[in-house]
Amino acid sequence: MSDSLSPVTSPALPYWRLSSFYFFYFCVVGAMVPYWGVYLKSLGYSSRDVGIIGAIILATRIIAPNFWGWLADRTQKRLQIIRLGSFAACAFFAGVFVDQSFVWLVVVVSAYTFFWHAVLPQFEVITLSYLAKDHHRYGQIRLWGSVGFIAAVMLLGWLFDILSVRYLPVFIFTFLLLIGLSSISLKPIAPQVSNNKSGGFWRVVGQPTMLCFLLMSFLLQLSHGPYYTFYSLYLIDNHQYSSGVTGLLWALGVMAEVVVFIVMHHLLRHFSLRTLLLWVLLVTSIRWWLIAAFAEYWPMLVFAQLLHAGSFGVAHAVSIEMVRRYFGGAHQSQGQALYSSLSFGAGGALGALLGGILWDYSAELTFYLCGMCALLAFLIAYLGVFPKAHTVIESSDS
């Protein structure tokens, strides 16, 4: 059997409906991450204010996924929760059009992200349930999220060289609405129940390897927090790159991520999760140091963005596989939610907050410290992350 996308486009698998959801979800990310800080700056907010609002967006990811994950595992109504979260997020985000005062934006952002963060962890469970034994082909569906990010970041980067960045909320609202509409086309599916005999949810969490993995994930995303919040400002304000060039650099990083998702099943077949994690963490540390030291040299920025293939692409795919292996079918939603909340939520929020505090003092120092966080995560993974057996996935391509 070939290694193309065709093996996953079976009649039983709604490939394009699953893919469209990821596409529109990450269109929102492609609009928010590079340009939200620029939008807030255009409203006259300080770097500290940008960091606080950016931290709130990520901090709601600490609480929201765990609440919705618990509810999904109790009710087994994941698709209904996804639809509720999608349309509620769209409705609350519309509050941005009412007022742009700091307190109002904090309220709007807190409300909309509480529902928005309900969506992705539950959708990961649905995707893996549809894939069943072909779970190692997850990347071939998830890559369309990366394509959505690229489409949004490049289109908006080009538009914001022509139009005011004040139009950003219109695009985000549209993408949120399309997320909800794409979720309507799917049918509910029961999650795959694994043969995991490791016990209850907290017993799994308490395993030494899982504790080290979660701490490592927290530090990895902490190192990404300033990048997601301030990278566009770093290029545009500190180094006088245009919005179009900035958008191209963002897109380049995610293009590298797409390539990784396409070949990820090969990597999982030939390398252990531990090997991939250790490699990713070293690459991430190097990436932040390159951005700190060589931002004025665009070829170095291009190279640093290509390393996004490892620092996010491989890291995310390996982490999803770790959670899948350790949490049985009864705990999949809570396991995905815990990983999301501690890494992207708590880690990303603290990174954004610290970035806001340090940014005006030294943007370069901020990225150097991000590199140190990634290096600390490497040491923790080296000493404590030893995934359970079957770390090399057998090929199903015969």
Q: What is the pLDDT of residues 16-36, one digit of tens each?
A: 888 999 999 999 999 998 899
| CATH number of residue 218's parent domain | 1.20.1250.20
Confidence check: pLDDT of 187 > 60: yes
Q: How far is CA 237 from CA 143, 233, 291, 296, in A?
A: 31, 5, 15, 12
Confidence check: pLDDT of 398 > 80: no
Q: What is the pLDDT of residues 331-358, one digit of tens each?
A: 777 787 789 888 988 898 899 889 988 9
**Residue 327 to residue 319: CA distance in whole angstroms:** 12
Q: Is 188 exposed, middle or buried (0-12, 13-18, 19+ CB in 10 A)?
A: exposed
Q: What is the pLDDT of residues 100-147, one digit of tens each?
A: 999 999 999 999 999 988 888 888 888 888 887 776 677 788 889 888
Query: Would 2 be classed as within a structural domain?
Result: no
Query: Would 6 be classed as within a structural domain?
Result: no
Residue that has been written with the tokens 């090929």 in this structure: 395
pLDDT at residue 136, rounded to an integer: 67
Confidence check: pLDDT of 196 > 70: no
Confidence check: pLDDT of 329 > 80: no
Contact (Cβ atoms closer than 8 angstroms) between residue 337 and residue 280: no
Query: Would 8 be classed as within a structural domain?
Result: no
Tokens describing residue 106: 């904090």
Give the model's confidence band at 68: pLDDT under 50 very low, under 70 low, under 90 confident, else very high: confident
Average pLDDT of the residues of the chain = 86
Contact (Cβ atoms closer than 8 angstroms) between residue 261 and residue 140: yes
Domain count, the chain: 1
Contact (Cβ atoms closer than 8 angstroms) between residue 159 and residue 31: no
Greater model confidence, 11 or 184: 184
**Residue 89 to residue 262: CA distance in whole angstroms:** 30
Query: Would 389 be classed as within a structural domain?
Result: no
Q: What is the pLDDT of residues 239-285, one digit of tens each?
A: 999 988 998 999 899 899 888 888 888 898 889 999 999 999 999 99
Residue that has been written with the tokens 């939520």 in this structure: 345
Range of the domain at 85: 14-384
pLDDT at residue 198, rounded to an integer: 47
Q: Is 132 exposed, middle or buried (0-12, 13-18, 19+ CB in 10 A)?
A: exposed
Query: Would 3 be classed as within a structural domain?
Result: no
Which of these, 24, 49, 41, 257, lies nearest to 160 by C-alpha position?
41
**3-state class of 69 per DSSP?**
helix
Greater model confidence, 88 or 387: 88
Give the model's confidence band at 330: pLDDT under 50 very low, under 70 low, under 90 confident, else very high: low
